[in-house]
């Protein structure tokens, strides 16, 4: 999620999208601007009852792959081979191990973390929330909120892992006020290890579902910690997540935060997912760091046109509406260069 002069957006609508239904074919839609929708930029039109991309704590009767994680897992079909990446090596196939494969540069891309829908022709890679199934036959990136708690999950963390929430001097959780999310405490090696056990379970789930990659969000949570966290804490936690992803056969993407691009090799990032790098003139840095393995999401029409002109021939650029609505719903925008 972008965090500059003003917050852009956390997409939080998978279950709500599933409740209202998603489209079956075509998948391309155009809409009025976000301003005409009557909402402040960066805010969902309506927040679903579960509060975010990920479901809250499992209710009685739900089946979870990781009981220590608030992550109900619906059964999903095998996604089949990914078309947006090279085929696994023969050695990997013979041993049964999953080879870590980064995305192909300039592959057609769609950002579907607001709710899954049938990808359009020409799309070879999608990013979806970890509660959603991967898209059959495509390169799939699994969205995970790794450094903060979903709004409706704070109670779960308080009940199960209270020591892993970052707290102020009065013992209250330190909040990302823009999204009502409690920050996770990655300030010590012990807490990072414990958190990696929880978040790592979500990454395991992504792999089990058939995703090829993961994008851990809120890498920049230290900027909202009031000085209680710094860049080194988040880099160290990201390194643990990268090791877990690679052990699962998943590539891992750096989500925004150009401050940590220089540490990409030490952390283990394989590609980047950048919201509005064209708007903030950051696309060139990501492109150079990741050999054009960069998924770019622009929300404004002018920024999209600018980014397409400069990078449309080398990077995977898409324009989405700020609420990343599923196709077939009012306000949905999907354009590629």
Q: What is the pTM of this model?
A: 0.76
Integer angstrom CA distances of residue 7 from 4, 112, 168, 171, 298: 6, 19, 22, 26, 14
The confidence band for 179, taking pLDDT boundaries of 50, 70 and 90, is confident
Which tokens go with 150?
A: 């979903």
How large is the average pLDDT for residues 188-207?
98
Sheet strands side by side (includes 125-129): 109-111, 125-129, 139-145, 213-217, 251-255, 271-275, 294-298, 316-320, 334-336
Reply yes or no on whether the pLDDT at 36 is more than 50: no
Exposed/middle/buried for residue 96 (C-beta within 10 Å: 0-12, 13-18, 19+): exposed
Mean pLDDT score across all residues of the chain = 79
| Per-residue pLDDT at 119 | 97
Give the pLDDT confidence of 241-296 residue by residue, as tens digits. Answer: 999 999 999 999 999 989 999 999 999 999 999 999 999 999 999 999 999 999 99
Which tokens go with 16?
A: 């709500």
Give the pLDDT confidence of 203-229 residue by residue, as tens digits. Answer: 999 999 999 999 999 999 999 999 999
Give 89's contacts (C-beta < 8 A, 6+ positions apart).
Answer: 99
Say what angle helices 231-247 and 189-209 make with each other, to 10 degrees.
Answer: 40
| Per-residue pLDDT at 211 | 98
Reply yes or no on whether the pLDDT at 44 is more than 60: no
Reply yes or no on whether the pLDDT at 49 is more than 70: no
Reply yes or no on whether the pLDDT at 175 is more than 50: yes
| Per-residue pLDDT at 151 | 85
Q: Among 301, 327, 320, 296, which residue's Cα sits nearest to residue 120?
A: 327
Give the pLDDT confidence of 58-107 residue by residue, as tens digits. Answer: 222 222 233 334 433 333 333 444 555 544 433 333 335 689 999 999 99
């Amino acid at each position: 999620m972008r965090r500059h002069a003003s917050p852009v957006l956390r997409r939080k609508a998978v279950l709500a999208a599933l409740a209202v239904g998603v489209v079956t074919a075509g998948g391309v839609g155009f809409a009025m601007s976000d301003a005409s929708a009557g909402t402040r930029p960066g805010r969902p039109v309506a927040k679903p009852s579960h509060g975010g991309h990920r479901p809250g704590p499992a209710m009685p009767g739900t089946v979870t792959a990781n009981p220590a994680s608030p992550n109900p897992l619906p059964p999903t079909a095998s996604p089949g081979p990914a078309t947006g990446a090279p085929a696994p090596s023969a050695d990997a196939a013979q041993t049964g191990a999953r080879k870590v494969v980064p995305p192909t540069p300039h592959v057609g891309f769609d950002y579907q973390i607001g709710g899954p829908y049938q990808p359009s022709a020409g799309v070879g890679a999608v990013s979806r929330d970890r509660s959603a199934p991967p898209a059959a036959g495509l390169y799939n990136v699994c969205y995970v909120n790794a450094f903060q708690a979903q709004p409706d999950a704070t109670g779960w963390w308080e009940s199960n892992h209270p020591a892993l929430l970052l707290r102020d001097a009065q013992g209250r959780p330190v909040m990302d006020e823009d999204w009502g999310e409690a920050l996770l405490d990655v300030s010590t090696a012990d807490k990072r290890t414990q958190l990696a056990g929880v978040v790592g379970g979500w990454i395991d789930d992504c792999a089990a579902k058939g995703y090829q990659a993961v994008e851990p969000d809120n890498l920049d949570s230290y900027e909202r910690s009031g000085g209680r966290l710094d860049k080194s804490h988040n880099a160290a936690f990201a390194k643990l997540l990268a090791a877990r992803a690679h052990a699962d056969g998943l590539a891992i993407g750096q989500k925004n935060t150009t401050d940590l691009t220089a540490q990409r090799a030490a952390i283990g990032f394989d590609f980047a997912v950048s919201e509005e790098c064209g708007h903030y003139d950051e696309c060139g840095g990501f492109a150079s760091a990741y050999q054009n393995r960069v998924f770019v999401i622009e929300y404004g029409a002018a920024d999209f046109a600018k980014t397409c002109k400069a990078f449309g021939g080398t990077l995977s650029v898409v324009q989405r509406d700020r609420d990343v609505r599923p196709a077939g719903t009012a306000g949905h925008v999907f354009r590629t260069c």
